[in-house]
C-alpha cells in the first residue's frame, strides 16, 4: 500500500464510526484499481460503498434487497482475501461498511495479536472464547491491552470470569469507548458487580448483560444505589438495558428493583 493509502486507512482505524473516511478510501482505491486493472480492489470499492449505503438506510425494500444480495455475493467471493490473516487467527469474523468489524477469537490469541489486529482492521465488536476458566493473570493482562480502546462491544460470556476476573478487568484504563458488555454465565456476585460499577468505563455502557450469574438482593441494592446517586446529581443514566435473567433475584431483590425507577425502567428480568 502506498503511503497515501496508509494514511487513509489509518483514518478509518482511528475513527471507525465515521463512514466518510471509508468513502474517501474507496475513491482512492478506485483510482488505484483503474490504473492497475486490479479486479479484487475494484470489487472492494463496490463492497465498501454498498456497506456504507446499507448502513445509512433510507431505501425502499426492493432496492435494499438487491444491494444486500450483491453485498453477500461480494463477501462470499472475496471476504477471506479482505479478512487476511484473521481467517486463520479467529473463530469467525464479519464485515460492516467494507471492513472487518467483528471477530470471535480465543482469549489467549487475542492477547498476543491485539496490536496487529487493531492496526489492520477497524474491529469494534469482540467476543473472547476460552476452553476453560481464564486465570486472574490473564484477565489482568487483558486490562492492560491499550488496543481495547477500539472496542465498543465486548462479549466475555461463559469464560469463567468470576467476580475476581471482573474486578481485574474493571481496573482497565483503556475500555473508554465500551458501550455494550456481556459478562453472562460467569458466576459473578456482589464483589464483581461493585467493581464494575466503580470502573472508569462503566459510565459509557448502554447495554449490560449480567444474566445467569450469582446476583441476589445485596448486589441489586448496590446497583440501585449507584443509579440513584447518578439521578440525585441531576445526571442522565446512560445505561439503557440491563439483563438479569437467570439470577437468584428472590422476592426481596424484586422489591429493590421496583423501588428504584431508574433501575426498573431499564431492567430485563
Q: What is the mean pLDDT of the chain?
A: 94
Domain annotation covers residue 150 = yes
Looking at the predicted structure, is the pLDDT value of residue 2 above 90?
no
Domain annotation covers residue 149 = yes
Domain annotation covers residue 179 = yes
pTM attached to this predicted model: 0.92
**Residue 1 pLDDT level (bands cut at 50, 70, 90):** very low
Q: Would you say how long the chain is, in residues?
A: 269
| pLDDT value for 85 | 96
**Tell me: the pLDDT tens digits for 128-138?**
999 888 789 99
Helices (DSSP H) in 84-214: which residue ranges? 86-89, 107-118, 136-143, 162-170, 190-197
CA-CA-CA-CA torsion sign (129, 13, 98, 7): negative
181: CATH: 3.80.10.10
Looking at the predicted structure, is the pLDDT value of residue 3 above 70?
no
For the chain, how many structural domains are there in total?
1
Percent of the chain with pLDDT over 90: 93
Q: Which residues on neighbouring strands pair with residue 154, listed in sequence order?
A: 126, 181
For residue 200, the tally of other CB atoms under 10 A from its CB is 13
Q: Where are the beta strands (DSSP E) in the chain?
A: 92-96, 99-106, 125-129, 153-155, 180-182, 207-209, 241-243, 267-268
Looking at the predicted structure, is the pLDDT value of residue 209 above 90?
yes
**Tell me: the pLDDT tens digits for 73-99?**
999 999 999 999 999 999 999 999 999
Domain annotation covers residue 180 = yes
The span from the CA of 225 to the CA of 228, in Å, is 5
DSSP H/E element including 75: helix 61-83
Domain annotation covers residue 174 = yes
Q: Are 188 and 244 in contact (CB under 8 A)?
A: no
Looking at the predicted structure, is the pLDDT value of residue 237 above 70?
yes
CA atoms within 13 A on the CB side of 12: 27
Range of the domain at 189: 130-269
| pLDDT value for 60 | 87
Domain annotation covers residue 219 = yes
| pLDDT value for 131 | 85
Domain annotation covers residue 153 = yes
| pLDDT value for 135 | 86
The span from the CA of 196 to the CA of 218, in Å, is 15
| pLDDT value for 155 | 98
Domain annotation covers residue 56 = no
Amino acid at each position: 500500500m502506498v503511503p497515501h493509502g496508509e494514511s487513509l486507512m489509518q483514518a478509518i482505524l482511528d475513527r471507525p464510526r465515521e463512514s466518510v473516511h471509508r468513502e474517501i478510501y474507496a475513491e482512492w482505491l478506485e483510482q488505484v484499481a483503474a490504473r492497475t486493472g486490479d479486479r479484487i480492489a475494484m470489487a472492494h470499492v463496490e463492497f465498501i460503498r454498498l456497506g456504507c449505503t446499507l448502513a445509512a438506510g433510507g431505501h425502499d425494500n426492493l432496492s435494499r434487497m438487491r444491494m444486500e444480495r450483491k453485498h453477500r455475493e461480494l463477501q462470499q467471493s472475496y471476504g477471506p482475501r479482505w479478512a487476511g490473516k484473521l481467517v486463520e487467527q479467529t473463530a469467525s469474523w464479519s464485515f460492516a461498511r467494507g471492513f472487518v468489524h467483528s471477530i470471535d477469537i480465543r482469549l489467549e490469541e487475542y492477547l498476543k495479536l491485539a496490536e496487529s489486529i487493531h492496526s489492520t482492521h477497524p474491529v469494534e465488536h469482540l467476543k473472547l472464547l476460552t476452553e476453560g476458566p481464564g486465570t486472574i493473570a490473564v484477565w489482568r493482562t487483558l486490562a492492560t491491552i491499550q488496543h481495547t480502546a477500539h472496542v465498543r462491544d465486548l462479549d466475555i460470556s461463559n469464560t469463567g470470569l468470576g467476580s475476581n476476573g471482573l474486578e481485574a478487568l474493571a481496573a482497565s484504563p483503556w475500555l473508554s469507548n465500551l458501550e455494550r458488555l456481556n459478562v453472562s454465565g460467569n458466576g459473578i456476585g456482589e464483589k464483581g458487580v461493585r467493581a464494575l460499577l466503580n470502573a472508569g468505563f462503566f459510565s459509557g455502557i448502554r447495554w449490560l448483560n449480567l444474566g445467569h450469574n450469582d446476583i441476589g438482593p445485596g448486589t441489586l441494592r448496590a446497583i440501585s444505589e449507584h443509579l440513584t446517586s447518578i439521578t440525585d446529581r441531576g445526571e442522565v443514566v446512560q445505561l439503557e438495558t440491563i439483563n438479569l435473567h437467570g439470577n437468584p433475584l428472590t422476592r426481596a431483590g424484586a422489591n429493590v428493583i421496583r423501588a428504584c425507577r431508574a433501575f426498573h425502567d431499564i431492567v430485563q428480568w
